[in-house]
Structure 1
């Protein structure tokens, strides 16, 4: 159907190739939004299109850029597709872009910046996996039609040919955008055979866009779940990260679990669906973990930067993954999960390492999981100042994230219990703030440094200095700030008890 050209003509956007199924009022709104966004990028897009046209090549704004323009959320990143091969694209961009890079050239992509826009131009693609490959084989397509039919979903299979501004939508992406539906251009089986990572992308887009995944797509994801194992850990990690940082990660995570894909990429998550029988009732750990994740997201505003925060979200999702391994049925019908914090931290470290997350992320998530139960010893505020200092010392740079995780970990429906927990944590944070003001708590150190220790004791660098330092640190945690004279006296007292002092 030739759709809405009258609405587009006044600003120069003329021809639409699309579907008969679209709702007029939805499409009209999408068109208005697209016109506004596309006009914003027109000086760059039209000029680039003219350069390629003059060289005898097609160029089109494509994929997520068109989708986001229709959703009125187009940013500064612009994706283009072209009939030109990478070498020719590089030549056409050289001297026009402010900066140019070719790190993606072997995959058909040349990138650059122009007037504040990040631009990537990719040759028409027709990629696919073979049965044993962990990376797609790069193959070039012959036309925009070839390129669009091999894209992941219909909402990403739309293009605007430049500089003529012709909107191309052969698979009904605009209608699916109006229906908020994730559907594939061809059969989902073919799409997921071409690139199994698209199964995770379906879950990610459901979370990012708030869209529903078509039943036939869900069925194919379920049937082909094991195929995800041929995808590299790095690509899986990147999709999981994008999903977790989306506005509603529960949606996508639930889809990954329900289709069986999570069994292959994050098996610790479906393992939380512990059986609950009539004799051993306890919380549904899986649903609890998803709720903690949602509550942590609501509390991210407390963090520096205000979120979204990957470390906090990973820790919230995985904080109880040690429970299945530590579950024990107690006499009388109770259930215990002793040391699930320690076990869970080790499990999280192993899984995140397998997914190739950066070491800093792994360390921070593992630390939060191992510490997430510490607060529960505070009930009623009976901790000494020494215990509060140790809590801060052990949390280190993760203290603010630990505050968020601990507060989010309360999912009780008992309002009285929930209020008591909140008041207890308010009390703990107030004490931390007071001690921090009094003692520079965030940088707890002994009252004497290593050089002072060596000078006072007349010893050389070595393990003995470390032992003395740790002793003074324990004194600092127990008693707070000491004067230099008191710290010196405590060091000499300790030294007098060491066998090395008499040698």
Structure 2
């Protein structure tokens, strides 16, 4: 198969081919770009393998590009890896010399030697990534496919070029990558390849949490992340780096009463949410919204299974999970924590009826994340009873309408009471103390309950009244 016409549509390829030819360096387009070209997927990253020095070829390409286009091109060089990267227009192009690799058991960092194109294709993780297209004059555009990667693309199969046990033992991150590619492309993992993942699952322990989470986040950002999580669960990998999620799996029955399998419920919520949002951290909130159900699960003979307080306990678990997975311990984590803590609140409003007071409190606590919270709550309706789902979703629309009305009228989201701590201390000649905090809370609660408006004329007399109950009088 020849891709000459496809390559000629992008002037970068004939340009690189010309530079390589002048310097008598065999060069090839390899890996993900070739795979995506065949799959007709958009790609802005180009990998070039040459037989020789990839850094030298990159510098020569940059030099010729600058002369021809009168535009400076900077080359980022990574000598330890023998690679160089440069940007040509909208394209990011990485150059590397063909190499062969060998591994030591305690590390995924290979011992690298110069090699041929065949050596380079042998070291690739999967057949669909071991494809190469020639940029050489005598066979420009020819597909070089030693492992039938093209056939695997047509069959929608993820398979290793060589023995999968060696492939995964050498670099265990490839197990995560296999599942990630299967999820992104909606491919199957070839049975013997998947069995090798199961056999080598313990090897994932030599991989850093950062690298694991990087692959996990790519799975979470796919159109149907549940597919990837099911593969992670079935392979045994998930329990090794995210045991809290595995604990959700299973349904227990006592006296004929059964609770739902919270693992599969969580995956359904996650998939539902993908229809509303592609925000990674909102999807993490879906993953963690019921994470504390296993530790809060109780059976009561009268009411059956309960998970009281799982939202608060789950919120307390979020920082620990983020820290362990080396996810960001910043506003992203706090956003997820907030949504886990609040995820039952809109559902409670639907059940109890929507009062202005309850809406004010929800708006105050959710702040700028109120819309994200409502998306999570909509996704959390997973009943098989379609009429029940429709009823809940209709009620959510009523809640959202009331939220908009209350916010427009009261401006309660992220509000600050008109009476500040400084005003309280000045009025009663107090230093920072428990009494100041108590008065502030009473004023805030009164505003949220609609007892007073957040205006000085109403809040000041209320402050005086609350202070009297504590034995305090304003200074003259």
Asked if TM exceeds 0.5, the reply is yes
Contact 1:447/1:476 (<8 A) preserved: no
| Alignment-derived partner of residue 286 in structure 1 | 263
| Alignment-derived partner of residue 375 in structure 1 | 346
The alignment yields a C-alpha RMSD, in angstroms, of: 2.6
Segments of 5+ residues of structure 2 without an aligned counterpart are 67-71
Alignment counterpart, residue 488 of structure 1, candidates 460, 469, 475: 460
Aligned-partner Cα distance in 2 for 1:138–1:53: 29
Q: CA deviation at 1:381?
A: 5.0
Segments of 5+ residues of structure 1 without an aligned counterpart are 14-34, 301-307
Q: CA deviation at 1:197?
A: 0.8
Map residues 248-287 of structure 1 onto 2, 5 A cutoff. 248-277=224-253, 279-287=256-264
Change (3 A) 1:130 1:411: same
Contact 2:159/2:190 (<8 A) preserved: yes
| Alignment-derived partner of residue 309 in structure 2 | 339
Alignment counterpart, residue 91 of structure 2, candidates 101, 117, 122: 117
| Alignment-derived partner of residue 446 in structure 1 | 417
| Alignment-derived partner of residue 418 in structure 1 | 389
Q: Does residue 16 of structure 2 align to residue 39 of structure 1?
A: no
Q: TM-score, normalised by structure 2?
A: 0.89
Contact 1:107/1:138 (<8 A) preserved: no
Change (3 A) 1:277 1:469: closer
Q: Does residue 89 of structure 2 align to residue 149 of structure 1?
A: no
Q: CA deviation at 1:187?
A: 1.2
Q: CA deviation at 1:107?
A: 2.5
- What secondary structure does 1:78 align onto? strand
| Alignment-derived partner of residue 43 in structure 2 | 75
Aligned-partner Cα distance in 2 for 1:222–1:491: 65
Contact 2:62/2:75 (<8 A) preserved: no
Deviation per CA, 1:374-395: give whole Å up to 9, x if none. Answer: 2232134534312211111212
Q: CA deviation at 1:231?
A: 0.6
Contact 2:28/2:48 (<8 A) preserved: yes
Contact 1:86/1:105 (<8 A) preserved: no
Contact 2:103/2:111 (<8 A) preserved: no
Contact 2:55/2:96 (<8 A) preserved: no
Aligned-partner Cα distance in 2 for 1:259–1:475: 54
Map residues 17-166 of structure 1 onto 2, 5 A cutoff. 35-36=5-6, 38-41=7-10, 43-85=11-53, 87-89=55-57, 91-95=59-63, 96=65, 98-102=72-76, 104-127=78-101, 129-133=103-107, 135-137=108-110, 139-164=112-137, 165=140, 166=142
Deviation per CA, 1:268-315: give whole Å up to 9, x if none. Answer: 222211243363412121211111111111122xxxxxxx11112112
| Alignment-derived partner of residue 69 in structure 2 | none
Change (3 A) 1:334 1:464: closer
Aligned-partner Cα distance in 2 for 1:108–1:470: 62
